[in-house]
């Protein structure tokens, strides 16, 4: 245990040293929430890798590999990263040029401030809170197995560490430490992969002893099953605010696009490892072991503490970076979309900084409450992805490409899709969950937009084309940040 304690203490000392350093440097809400739109290539690449590889990767995806095999990669990780790649390649430039803070900013600027309420609530409450809870549960698993803490103590300790670091340094500290933690993460997951080959008896033994359905891309569900699952979670990654936040934080659109594409390609390679570890674990862990505990079980029970400690720190790094990112995502929504835009548009920097740190506390406490009541990591994550993807993807694409979409059409589309997605399990409809929500969103948006007029609050434009054209003559630096707009 001394190895685990030593590694963990060193890790958290380094993290909080960065936190205190940026606490002395961060003086404005722009810097605290969006890093002053100033981060470079390696910082954005590192933070993307770290943020994408949190509890869902180290814990959920290992468990998914154990349960369904390599097909899990093609159901979840692969479509998620392909959609993220499309987001960076096609949308990084028009999004970065607008100097936004949140996804709700885009809707508020295009359709009026009321249109930003639903995206803000979805991002802050439906996504940020439960995914933060996932990270706290993951940290609890580490503390419980490695240090013998009970679940309640582990959750409170994880909560305190995450809240303390986030409230100190904001997004600048998060992005810089993410870049460093991405190295620890890659080393940790690679070490566990190599160890799993050894404990599984070698590649040859794993291939010969593992049922064929665990080794094929289609598993035992076939092509239609893989595609349906991919479609149920993939669309969300087009409107994942954590990715948008990295685009906004980049110092320019070239950095955003280049770093984004680079990081996605790296993640595509890394993310096959946890599924492979889950498959190989079938050779050497108890068959009745909770899949969410496989990672920690292998690390603590099978590996020498000197090696296992490095892997545990890699897991803690992934969990910390995910937790801080999701807290700041929710904080941005509460501070910019709710407090400033709706209640105090002329707020001073002092009030905005106070609101930012207070909202960090609120999101963190809500995440802790959910963590105490969470039982299934992957199911919880999938629900958040389905609701947000079905509700926001079609309105986002319409705002980007169709001048004819109206405020009433967007609001009706969001409400219909959100309600339809939530009620779907109770309606006995023979259409896949997310596909049903997306179809409902599209039909509602088109019909209501065609039957309604643009409101006075709207800026009638197809953002994708018109933002690019308006900045084609070097006008990007003249754009005012959203915080300075009415």
The pLDDT, as a whole number, for residue 245 is 85
Give me the pLDDT at residue 442, please. Answer: 96
In a domain, 91, yes or no: yes
pLDDT at 484: 44
Structure tokens at 455: 């409101």
User: Is 362 part of any domain?
Assistant: yes
With beta carbons less than 8 A apart as the criterion, state whether 48 and 321 touch. no
| DSSP track, 258-282 | HHHHHHHHHHHHHTHHHHHHHHHHT
Q: Answer yes or no: is pLDDT of 273 > 70.
A: yes
Q: What's the pLDDT band for 477 if we cut at 50, 70, 90?
A: very low
Q: How far apart are CA 301 and CA 52, in angstroms?
A: 27
In this prediction, residue 411 carries a pLDDT of 95
The answer to whether residue 415 sits within a structural domain is no
pLDDT digits (tens, 9 = 90+) for 332-373: 888 888 888 888 888 888 888 888 889 999 999 999 998 888
Three-state DSSP class for residue 309: helix
Confidence of residue 420 (pLDDT cuts 50, 70, 90): very high
More confident residue, 473 or 105: 105
The CATH code of the domain that includes 319 is 1.20.1730.10
- Percent of the chain whose predicted confidence (pLDDT) is above 70: 94
- Confidence category of residue 471, pLDDT binned at 50, 70, 90: low
Local confidence band at 47 (pLDDT 50, 70, 90 cut-offs): confident
Q: Considering only 36-50, 108-122, 375-389, which range has the smallest mean pLDDT?
A: 375-389
Is residue 54 over pLDDT 70?
no
**What is the C-alpha to C-alpha distance for residues 240 and 86, in angstroms, rounded to an integer?**
12
Band of residue 57 on the pLDDT scale cut at 50, 70, 90: low
- pLDDT at residue number 301: 76
Residue 148 has pLDDT above 90, yes or no: no
192-218 per-position pLDDT tens digit: 889 889 888 899 999 999 998 999 998
Separation CA 447–CA 199 (nearest Å): 58
Exposed, middle or buried by CB within 10 Å (0-12, 13-18, 19+), for 302?
middle
- pLDDT confidence tier of residue 376, bands split at 50, 70 and 90: low
181 pLDDT above the threshold of 90: no
**Is residue 314 within 8 Å of 187, Cβ to Cβ?**
yes
Identify whether 54 is part of a domain. yes
pLDDT band at 309 (very low <50, low <70, confident <90, very high): confident
Residue that wins the pLDDT comparison between 12 and 302: 12
Q: Which residue range forms the structural domain that includes residue 152?
A: 2-388
pTM: 0.84
* pLDDT given at position 177: 80
pLDDT given for residue 482 in this prediction:
44
When pLDDT is averaged across residues 41-53 and rounded to a whole number, the result is 83
- What number is the average pLDDT over the span 242-270? 90
Is 409 inside any structural domain? no
Q: Please give the mean pLDDT across all residues of the chain.
A: 85
pLDDT one-digit tens code per residue, 131-141: 888 888 888 87
- Average pLDDT for 383-403: 91
- Whether 68 is in a domain gets the answer yes
Domain total of the chain: 1
Whether 423 is covered by a domain: the verdict is no
- 119 located within any domain: yes
Q: What is the 3-state secondary structure (H, E, C) of 335-373?
A: HHHHHHHHHCCCCCHHHHHHHHHHHHHHHHHHHHHHHCC
Q: What is the pLDDT of residue 470?
A: 65
């Amino acid at each position: 245990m001394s190895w685990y304690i030593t590694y963990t203490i060193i890790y958290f000392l380094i993290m909080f040293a960065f936190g205190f350093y940026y606490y002395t440097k961060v003086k404005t809400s722009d810097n605290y929430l969006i890093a002053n739109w100033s981060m470079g290539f390696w910082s954005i690449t590192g933070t993307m890798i770290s943020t994408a590889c949190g509890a869902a990767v180290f814990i959920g995806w290992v468990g998914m590999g154990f349960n369904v095999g390599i097909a899990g990669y093609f159901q979840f990780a692969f479509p998620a990263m392909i959609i993220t790649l499309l987001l960076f390649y096609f949308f990084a430039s028009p999004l970065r040029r607008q100097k936004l803070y949140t996804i709700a900013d885009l809707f508020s600027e295009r359709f009026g401030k009321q249109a930003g309420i639903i995206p803000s609530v979805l991002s802050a409450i439906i996504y940020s809170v439960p995914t933060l809870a996932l990270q706290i549960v993951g940290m609890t698993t580490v503390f419980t197995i490695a240090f013998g803490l009970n679940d309640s103590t582990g959750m409170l300790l994880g909560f305190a560490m995450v809240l303390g670091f986030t409230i100190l340094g904001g997004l600048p500290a998060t992005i810089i430490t993410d870049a460093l933690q991405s190295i620890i993460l890659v080393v940790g997951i690679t070490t566990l992969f190599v160890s799993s080959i050894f404990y599984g008896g070698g590649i040859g033994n794993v291939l010969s002893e593992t049922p064929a359905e665990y080794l094929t891309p289609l598993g035992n569900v076939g092509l239609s099953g893989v595609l349906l699952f991919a479609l149920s979670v993939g669309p969300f990654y087009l409107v994942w605010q954590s990715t948008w936040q990295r685009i906004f934080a980049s110092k320019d659109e070239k950095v955003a696009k280049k770093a984004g594409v680079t990081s996605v390609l790296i993640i595509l390679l890394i993310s096959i490892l946890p599924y492979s570890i889950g498959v190989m674990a079938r050779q050497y862990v108890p068959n009745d072991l909770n899949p969410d505990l496989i990672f920690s079980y292998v690390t603590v029970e099978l590996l020498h503490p000197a090696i296992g400690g490095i892997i545990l720190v890699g897991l803690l790094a992934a969990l910390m970076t995910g937790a801080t990112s999701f807290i700041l995502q929710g904080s941005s929504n509460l501070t910019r979309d709710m407090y400033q835009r709706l209640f105090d548009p002329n707020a001073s920097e002092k009030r905005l900084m106070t609101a930012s740190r207070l909202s960090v506390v609120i999101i963190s406490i809500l995440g802790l409450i959910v963590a105490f009541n969470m039982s299934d990591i992957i199911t919880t994550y999938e629900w958040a992805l389905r609701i947000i993807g079905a509700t926001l993807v079609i309105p986002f694409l319409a705002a980007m490409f169709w001048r004819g979409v109206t405020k009433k059409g967007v609001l009706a589309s969001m409400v219909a899709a959100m309600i339809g997605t939530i009620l779907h399990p109770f309606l006995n409809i023979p259409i896949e969950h997310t596909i049903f929500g997306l179809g409902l969103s599209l039909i509602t948006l088109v019909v209501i937009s065609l039957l309604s007029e643009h409101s006075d609050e709207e800026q009638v434009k197809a953002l994708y084309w018109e933002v690019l054209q308006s900045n084609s003559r070097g006008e990007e630096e003249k754009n005012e940040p959203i915080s300075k707009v009415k």
